[in-house]
Every structure is written in C-alpha cells, then in structure tokens.
C-alpha cells in the first residue's frame, strides 16, 4: 500500500534518512519507534506528501485513502463535537453537506422553477448517501466520541469550549470515523484516560486497514501492533511481532554484534602484533606484507550503537511517621457536583497507592486535598509526623520560568549544591552536554516534565504525590522513572493511565466510585485479576 524506496532526507546539516526502505501492507499494524529526534514525524510528513525526500521515492497505491492524526489539531469552532467528527468522514461528509443544501433549495420558494432539476439531483445524492452509510453516520460518530470519553452534553456543545486535550480527542475521532485504508497516528494515546485508551486499543485491533503509529505507551503498543519499524541513525529496520518481541530481538542483535566486534578486534590485535614484531626482519618480509594486505581487505564490524540510557538513583529519604496522611469526614463539591461526602482515608508509610476512577470521579481532587492545594468544604486533612512531601501536578510544567536555562533552574532551586552534582542530576534526567543551556521556553513537553521531576527528586521527599507523571514521557524516560521509583523507600500516592507504570509501582489500589472509595490490597496487577477489568469504567 505504501512503499518507501531508498529515501534520503536532510534537515540542514542533519541527516535524517540515508537510502532507507520500508513498506506498509494491508492488514499490517506497525509501531514506529526510535529515539527522540530520529525522524518519526518527518516520516509521517513524507508519507502524507507534506515534505519530499531529497532522494528516492514514496510510492502509494492509487485511490488509497489516508487518515493522519497528529498533535497539531488546528482551529475548531462553530460546530458541535459530533458535527466536527462527522465533517472528517471523507466523501460521505461532503455528500451530506450537499444533501442539506438541496433540502434547503427544495423549500426555497424563489427556486420553485428549478424544482424538477433539484429533485432529480436530490434523488441521486440521497441514493449515494445511503449507499455510503450516511444515515448511520451520526450514530457511529457518537459511538466513537462515547468511546473516547465524551458525555452527550459535550458531544452537542460547541467544540471551541473544549480544552486542548479534548480537542485532540475530537481530531482523533474524526480519523477513526473516516475508517481510511491507511491510518497514520502520531501519539494517539496522549491525553487519553485509561478507559478511553482501552476502548481505542479494541477499536484499532478490529480495524482491517493498515496502521502506522507512534506511542509512548508500551502496553498499548503491545496490544495493537504486529510489526515494528525502528528509525535509528538514518536507517529503517523492520521487526515482525509486538513491542516486547522487538525489545528482546534488538537486545539479542546488539549482543551478537558486540560478540562479533570483540572477536574481530582480538583477531586484528593479533595480526597487528605479528606485523609490529617482524616488520624489521628481512626473513619475514613476505609474511608481513601478506598480512598487511589482508588487514586492508577486511570488512570492519561496527560496535553496536549504544542507546543513551537514563538512570537516576534516589538519595535516601528521611523516614516519616507510620501515618502519612489522614483524611477524616472530608466533603468536597464543585457547585452542585458532590465529589466527596464524609470521606475517611488513611495512607500509611511505604504504601504505594494508585488512584483509579472514571473521568470526573475526583482523582486529581483527591491529590489536591492531600497536598493542600484545595481546601475541603468540611472535615480535616492531616499530614503525619516528619512527612516531607513532593507534588507533581499536571500544570507543574507551566510554572517553569521560560527565560531561565535548565541549569539555572536547578541552580536557583539548590543554590548550595555543587555544579558537578547538579550536572549529574541533569544528566540522569536526559540533559547531557549543551542541553543544560537550553532555555525552558524551548523545551518539549517531555523535557519540561523531566526537569520538574529532577527538581522534585533531588532533595528527596518521603511522600510523593504524582498526578499523571508519565503524560509527556517517552518509553526510555518512563523506564528510568520506574527503575528509580522501584527502589524508593518512601510513600506514594499517584494517578496514571500507563498500565506498565501502574503494575510496576503500586502495592495498593484506591478505586473511586459513586458509592465511595473501594480499597484493594495488592497492586494494579492484583486489582485486574480480582475484578476482571483493567479500569473502573469497563464492564466485567
């Protein structure tokens, strides 16, 4: 369906692709992976014709429909969310518009003399609209929006009133309703809660076209894809299988390449030692000459490319008392909406509580009550003895000073720390070399999230409250964070829609329901096993 044939692409002096080839066939669901800046977005732009390759060609089947979702959703206003989604449904949407115009023309007394022509055209257009499933379109649009977490009220409201994250969902819904031959999805799992993510997973599993997508959610990738294309160093490499298989295969390939490289280096060292030893002796001149020629002809094995791996180790946090936070008889409402009534909750030392609940159940509100950023309407919230709290809020990244560099931001927060330890901290969170001189204004969402984490974790709190900490993080940074938090000895209260993160770090689940909080001992994996569902909003 789509073939990339020996493409090369430069961006200024930076080489993005060198004679790279790959193909996307019908029924294939491909995960596009590679380090940040490797060229994933450029590849999407080449396939959609927004950019041209410098050399080689991008070949697509004639008449093929392509739906492309990316993070840049553009302007949306003047229509309901449902109408906006239907508007992207390809030819059927255009025919629907013409049908509405013809209906208006039939009712217009000034066009009475054209009525025969209008009626004839109306019959043709109506038949085509029916053939394309136009009358079922609104029902399908609402089904997709419901799956993506919209209430009926939000579906019918002006799309302009929605936040950026919800507009992203509308843009995604547009592509899903369109059901093109090929879907290109750049980070579709961003901005989705757990229920919507699982719904999307099932939708894509049942999609019979071809799919090429990027995602920072490894569980999502594993459930959807059957092939991986890796971009690294300008080259495209294909792996059959899911993300888990790709990781194992790549590690195996690296190991084999390292062994080959080591063997060749040992052999070369032996030959060089022989040449050095006997080059001055006339009796060995022919042998020396022959070995020099042999060395010139050998194809050198490259050592495997070393991925930059991030690692951060927690300094030991001071011990807190056994009762970390205690909520007694807490009420909280927003206008007429009751979020909590008479809530009692005790979180003990070394508990790692993940909070689950459908949209609007009060997950972020609970974290705000615990951290004191929101006051309860009634009842008390008491922190225990010797508790030192660190809070990662969803808006924390907006509070960085855009004019300060990464290093200045760390230095402002920890003026007594040595330069060396601050640079080591920055390096552990992916800011190596000149990256520490970047101003906060130009940082990506992921870089800002990493900087906020570094600020929070350098002088370690013994109680971490994290609201969607993985939202903007790539897979490598999430792995680093999971590894660091796995060794953390303090207490945690967190909300996340990343199932890998939830399973790796929780030892207790707090499920928010209309009847109150259900507590489950054991982590997220045990919760799934006991309830038979991966999220509270899903039916067993």
Beta bridge partners of 465: 391, 493
Angle at Cα 485 formed by Cα 225 and Cα 511, nearest 5°? Answer: 70
pLDDT tier at 391 (50, 70, 90 boundaries)? very high
pLDDT per residue as tens digits for the range 33-54: 987 778 888 999 999 889 999 9
On the question of pLDDT at 505 being above 90, the answer is: yes
Query: Can you say whether residue 34 is alpha, beta or left, with left for phi > 0 and alpha for psi between -120 and 50 degrees?
Result: left
Q: CA 482, 484, 488, 490 torsion: positive or negative?
A: negative
% of the chain residues with pLDDT over 70: 99
Q: What does the H/E/C string look like for 227-274?
A: EEEEEECCEEEEEECCHHHHHHHHHHHHHHHHHHHHHHHHHHHHHHHH
Half-sphere exposure of 87 (CA within 13 A, CB side): 12
- Look at 484 and 495; give whichever has higher pLDDT: 495
**Alpha carbons 491 and 319: distance in angstroms, whole number:** 10
pLDDT at 306 over 70: no
Q: Can you give the pTM of this predicted structure?
A: 0.82
Percent helix / strand / coil, the chain, rounded to 5: 45, 25, 35
Query: Can you tell me the distance from the alpha carbon of 85 to that of 75, in angstroms, rounded to the nearest whole number?
Result: 13
pLDDT in tens, 346-362: 999 999 999 999 888 89
At 540, is the pLDDT very low, low, confident or very high (cuts 50, 70, 90)?
A: very low
Calpha distance 447→474 (Å, rounded): 10
Q: Out of 4-13, 232-241, 370-379, give the one with best mean pLDDT.
A: 370-379
Phi-psi region of 522 (alpha: psi -120 to 50; beta: other; left: phi over 0): left
The model's pLDDT over 102-133, given as tens digits with 9 standing for 90+, comes to 888 888 888 888 888 889 998 988 888 888 77
pLDDT tens digits for 308-364? Answer: 667 777 778 889 999 999 999 999 999 988 999 999 999 999 999 999 998 888 999
Residue 534 has pLDDT above 80, yes or no: yes
Yes or no: say if 66 and 181 are a contact pair by the CB < 8 Å rule.
yes
Average pLDDT for the chain: 89
Report CA 286 to chain centroid distance, whole Å. 62
Contacts of 12 (CB under 8 A, 6+ apart): none
Answer whether residue 171 shows pLDDT above 50.
yes
pLDDT at 308: 65
Handedness of CA 457, 461, 462, 464 (dihedral sign): negative
Contact assessment for residue 506 and residue 512, using Cβ atoms and an 8 Å cutoff = no
What is the Cα–Cα distance from 1 to 27, expressed in whole angstroms?
A: 10
CB 360 within 8 A of CB 537: no
Residue percentage of the chain with pLDDT more than 90 = 46
For 116-129, b where at least 16 C-beta lie within 10 A, e where not — what string?
eebeebbeebbeeb
Of 236, 207, 249, 248, the residue nearest 224 (C-alpha): 207
């Amino acid at each position: 369906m789509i073939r990339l044939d020996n493409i090369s692409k430069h961006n200024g002096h930076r080489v993005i692709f060198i004679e790279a080839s790959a193909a996307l066939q019908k029924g294939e669901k491909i995960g596009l992976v590679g380090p940040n800046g490797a060229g994933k977005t450029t590849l999407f732009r080449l396939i959609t014709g927004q950019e041209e390759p410098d050399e080689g060609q991008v070949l697509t089947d004639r008449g093929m429909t392509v739906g492309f979702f990316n993070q840049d959703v553009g302007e949306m206003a003047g229509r309901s969310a449902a109408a906006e989604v239907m508007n992207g449904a390809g030819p059927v949407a255009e025919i629907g518009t013409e049908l509405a115009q013809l209906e208006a023309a039939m009712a217009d007394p000034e066009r009475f003399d054209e009525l025969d022509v209008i009626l004839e055209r109306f019959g043709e257009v109506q038949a085509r609209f029916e053939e394309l499933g136009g009358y079922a379109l609104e029902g399908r649009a609402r089904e997709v929006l419901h799956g993506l977490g919209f209430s009926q009220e939000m579906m019918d409201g002006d799309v302009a009133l929605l936040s950026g994250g919800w507009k992203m969902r509308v843009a995604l819904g547009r592509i899903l309703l369109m059901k093109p031959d090929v879907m290109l999805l750049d980070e579709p799992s961003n901005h989705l809660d757990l229920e919507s993510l699982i719904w999307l997973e099932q939708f894509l599993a049942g999609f019979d076209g071809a799919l090429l997508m990027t995602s920072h959610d490894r569980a999502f990738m594993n459930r959807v894809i059957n092939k991986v294309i890796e971009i690294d160093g300008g080259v495209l490499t294909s792996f059959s299988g899911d993300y888990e298989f790709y990781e194992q295969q790549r590690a195996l390939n690296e190991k084999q390449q390292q062994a080959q490289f080591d063997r060749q280096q040992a052999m070369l060292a032996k030959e060089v030692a022989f040449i050095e030893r006997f080059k001055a002796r006339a009796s060995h001149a022919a042998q020396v000459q022959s070995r020099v020629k042999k060395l010139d002809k050998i194809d050198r094995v490259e050592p495997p490319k070393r991925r930059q791996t991030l690692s951060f180790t927690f300094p030991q946090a001071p011990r807190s008392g056994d009762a970390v936070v205690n909520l007694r008889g807490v009420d909280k409402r927003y206008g007429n909406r009751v979020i909590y009534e008479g809530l009692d909750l005790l979180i003990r030392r070394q508990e790692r509580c993940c909070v689950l609940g459908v949209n609007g159940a009060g997950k972020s509100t609970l974290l705000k009550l615990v951290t004191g950023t929101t006051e309860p309407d009634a009842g008390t919230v008491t922190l225990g003895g010797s508790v030192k709290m660190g809070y990662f809020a969803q808006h924390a990244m907006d509070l960085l000073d855009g004019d300060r560099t990464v290093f200045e931001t760390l230095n402002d927060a920890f003026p007594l720390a040595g330069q060396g330890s601050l640079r080591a901290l920055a390096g552990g969170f992916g800011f190596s070399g000149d990256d520490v001189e970047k101003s906060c204004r130009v940082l990506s969402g992921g870089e800002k999230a990493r900087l906020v984490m570094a600020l929070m974790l350098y002088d370690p709190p013994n109680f971490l409250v994290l609201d969607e900490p993985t939202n903007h993080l790539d897979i490598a940074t999430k792995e680093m964070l999971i590894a660091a938090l796995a060794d953390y000895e303090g207490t945690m209260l967190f909300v996340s829609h990343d199932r890998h993160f939830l399973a790796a770090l929780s030892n207790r689940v707090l499920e928010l329901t209309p009847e109150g909080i259900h507590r489950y001992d054991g982590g997220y994996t045990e919760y799934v096993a006991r309830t038979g569902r991966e999220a509270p909003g899903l039916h067993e």
